[in-house]
């Protein structure tokens, strides 16, 4: 079974805590603080791996957590960076990041960070100054980014075989390539896309057998809406219209059903180059097949081929048409050819504006709530049970204007202030 969708919980590693330490060495009077910084937490990174076929490993192991950064130590020894959590995904994977970014991994070695690690805290050495020569506090490391993300796979294929159920797509794929899809004499034998390759001696193309589409597929009828997503990356469509002596419906109407679903799905599927192919010509007399092909050529105003996967008739001409319709792909960049990490940008990024001045003050009953990512990070870094850390925090809040904003909102010394998950009584001197 092809797993083309997964939902994973990615959690970046927490940053390490800074260290409170003082030098205690012989013959070093008044050694002073020497606490090191904590290390940054590791990231959760998706890596494009051509050896992967689908997203099954993510569905059965959805929780991915990176390593925590090491804590700082004395003698100004900094903590180690947390170990990254590398998640291998197949080429063609799309992912929406926690910050609104949308990435498309198509080439081997592409990497994208989906959950960044938290920053490490500063040791007490960082807070030494001429007026604070022996700080007895350090910063705590911050938590990493975390949340659920959606991962989708859209197959990377050059050619897509489309058509109504039982149009002969699986049989054609088996004759054109070495693939071995399930073939039977009833509709809906193909329940997931199958891939095969054809080679003309100079180039190799990947062909995808897309399970049969039915009317309403673009709106979710059957599994068509999931199958249509795999057609989006194809460069050429081979549209099969089966000769069916037992079906009184006009073959052109069957052709138009699939064309309507391609157009309704969007993503430009109806604008892809198309090769119309009348399949299963061995099931009808030659004269009837000839009339059907001529009728299609007149109504489509283009070349129409006729093939039989059972007898092999017309397959050579179809091969040549496929390679002619699929132009060569541009060569990879020099960086990718040399084995370096390919450069790519996010396909889509959502920018969200911050509040005025980076923070906002609201009243919550008898307390005051300060909102703002920067202020919340500042408070999260410090241990409020440490009087020196609390005094330092109050000074920083005054410097960035939080105390003034609280006073304008009616704050009085001793009132409770809530910032992030912390609540404390503030009595600035």
Higher pLDDT, 416 or 357: 416
Angle between helices 387-399 and 373-380 (to 10 degrees): 160
The yes-or-no verdict on residue 424 having pLDDT over 70 is: yes
Residue 92 pLDDT exceeds 50: yes
pLDDT band for position 369 (50/70/90)?
very high
Q: What is the pLDDT of residue 336?
A: 45
pLDDT over 60 at 333, yes or no:
no
Mean pLDDT of 256-276: 82
The three-state (H, E, C) secondary structure of 320-357, written as one string: HHHHHHCCCCCCCCHHHHCCCCCCCCCCECCCCCCCHH
Confidence category of residue 15, pLDDT binned at 50, 70, 90: very high
With bands split at pLDDT 50, 70 and 90, how would you rate the model's confidence at 419? very high
Which sign, positive or negative, has the C-alpha torsion 134, 135, 137, 139? negative
Whole-number pLDDT of residue 279: 87
In this model, does residue 335 exceed pLDDT 50? no
Ordered by start, the domain boundaries in the chain are 1-153, 159-325, 357-425
Is the Cβ–Cβ distance between 6 and 58 less than 8 Å? yes
* Distance from C-alpha of 128 to C-alpha of 137, rounded to nearest angstrom: 10
What is the structure's pLDDT at 221? Answer: 46
Structure tokens at 111: 């990497």
The residue ranking higher by pLDDT, 285 or 83, is: 83
226: nearest Cα among 46, 348, 98, 54: 54
Q: What is the tens place of the pLDDT at every residue in 177-207?
A: 876 665 555 455 555 677 788 888 788 888 8
The CATH number of 159-325 is 3.40.50.300
- The residue that leads in pLDDT, 93 or 349, is 93
Highest average pLDDT, of 130-139, 258-267, 336-345, comes from 130-139
Assign domain 357-425 to its CATH superfamily. GTP-binding protein OBG, C-terminal domain (3.30.300.350)
**Domain range 1-153, its CATH number among 3.50.30.10, 2.70.210.12, 3.40.640.10, 3.90.1720.10:** 2.70.210.12
CB 244 within 8 A of CB 284: no
Among candidate residues 232, 241, 181, 233, the one with its CA nearest the CA of residue 211: 181
Residue 165 scores a pLDDT above 60: yes
Contact, 263 vs 185, CB < 8 A? no
- Of 7-21, 208-222, 269-283, 374-388, the one with minimum mean pLDDT is 208-222
Q: Give the ranges where 99-160 is alpha helix by DSSP (H).
A: none
More confident residue, 301 or 378: 378
Give the single-character DSSP code of 60.
H
Tell whether the model's pLDDT for residue 222 goes beyond 50.
Answer: no
Helix/strand/coil percentages in the chain, nearest 5: 25, 20, 50
| Residues counted in the chain | 429
Greatest Cα pair distance in the chain = 107
**Rounded to the nearest 5°, which phi and psi values hold at 94?**
-115, 145
Q: Residue 272: pLDDT above 90?
A: no
What is the value of pTM for the model shown? 0.72
Q: Which two tokens stand for residue 152?
A: 């989708």
Q: Is the pLDDT of residue 356 over 50?
A: no
Query: Which residues are paired to 9 by β-bridges?
Result: 63, 148
DSSP string, 25-51: -TT-TT--B-PPPPPPPPPEEEEE-TT
- Per residue in 371-385, pLDDT tens? 998 899 999 999 988
SS3 category, 62: coil
More confident call, 219 vs 72? 72
CB 34 within 8 A of CB 21: yes
User: Helix, strand, or coil here: 296?
Assistant: helix
Among the ranges given (61-75, 196-210, 303-317, 385-399), the one the predictor scored with the smallest mean pLDDT? 196-210
pLDDT of 225 reads 52
Determine contact, residues 85/42, Cβ cutoff 8 Å. Answer: yes
Residue 237, pLDDT > 60, answer: yes
How far is residue 229's CA from residue 240's CA, in Å, rounded to a whole number? 19
pLDDT at 145: 94
The lowest-confidence range among 122-126, 302-306, 337-341, 391-395 is 337-341
Instruction: Please check the confidence at residue 251 and state whether its pLDDT lies above 70.
Output: yes
Max avg pLDDT among 57-71, 148-162, 244-258: 57-71
Report yes or no: 211 and 258 within 8 Å, Cβ to Cβ: no
Cα separation, 43 vs 65, whole angstroms:
8
In this predicted structure, the answer to whether residue 83 has a pLDDT above a threshold of 90 is yes
**Least trusted range by pLDDT, from 58-67, 225-234, 358-367, 413-422:** 225-234
98, 72 in Cβ contact below 8 A? no
368: left (phi over 0), alpha (psi -120 to 50) or beta: beta
pLDDT band at 218 (very low <50, low <70, confident <90, very high): very low
Query: What span, in angstroms and rounded, lies between the C-alpha atoms of 373 and 115?
Result: 17
Contacts of 395 (CB under 8 A, 6+ apart): none
């Amino acid at each position: 079974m092809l797993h083309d969708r997964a939902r994973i919980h990615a959690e970046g590693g927490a940053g390490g805590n800074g260290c409170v330490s003082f030098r205690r060495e012989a013959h070093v009077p008044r050694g002073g603080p020497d606490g090191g910084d904590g290390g940054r937490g590791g990231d959760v990174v998706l890596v494009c791996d051509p050896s992967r076929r689908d997203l099954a490993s993510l569905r059965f192991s959805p929780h991915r957590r990176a390593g925590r950064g090491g804590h700082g130590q004395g003698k100004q020894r900094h903590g180690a960076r947390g170990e990254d959590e590398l998640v291998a995904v197949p080429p063609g994977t799309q992912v929406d990041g926690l910050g609104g970014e949308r990435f498309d991994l198509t080439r081997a070695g592409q990497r994208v960070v989906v959950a960044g690690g938290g920053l490490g805290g500063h040791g007490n050495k960082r807070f030494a100054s001429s007026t604070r020569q022996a700080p007895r506090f350090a910063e705590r490391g911050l938590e990493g980014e975390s949340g659920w993300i959606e991962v989708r796979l859209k197959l990377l294929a050059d050619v897509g075989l489309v058509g109504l159920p039982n149009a002969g797509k699986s049989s054609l794929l088996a004759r054109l390539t070495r693939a071995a899809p399930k073939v039977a004499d009833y509709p809906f034998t193909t329940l997931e896309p199958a891939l095969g390759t054809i080679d003309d001696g100079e180039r190799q193309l990947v062909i995808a057998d897309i399970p049969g589409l039915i009317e309403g597929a673009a709106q979710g009828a059957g599994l068509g809406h999931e199958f249509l997503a795999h057609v989006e990356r194809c460069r050429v469509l081979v549209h099969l219209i089966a000769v069916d002596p037992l079906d009184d419906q006009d073959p052109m109407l069957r052709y138009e059903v699939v064309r309507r679903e391609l157009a309704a799905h969007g993503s430009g599927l109806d604008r892809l180059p198309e090769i119309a192919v009348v399949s299963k010509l061995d099931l009808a007399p030659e004269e009837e097949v000839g009339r059907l092909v001529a009728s299609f050529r007149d109504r489509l105003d283009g070349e129409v081929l006729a093939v039989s996967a059972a007898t092999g008739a017309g397959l050579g001409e179809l091969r040549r048409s496929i390679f002619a319709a699929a132009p060569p792909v541009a060569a990879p960049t020099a960086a990718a050819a040399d084995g370096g990490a390919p450069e790519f940008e996010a396909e889509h990024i959502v920018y969200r504006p911050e509040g005025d001045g980076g923070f906002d003050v609201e009243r919550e009953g008898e307390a005051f709530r300060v909102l703002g990512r920067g202020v919340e990070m500042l408070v999260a870094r410090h241990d409020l049970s440490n009087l020196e850390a609390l005094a330092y925090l109050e000074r920083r809040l005054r410097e960035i204007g939080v105390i003034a904003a609280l006073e304008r909102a009616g704050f009085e010394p001793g009132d409770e202030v809530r910032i992030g998950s912390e609540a404390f009584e503030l009595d600035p001197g």
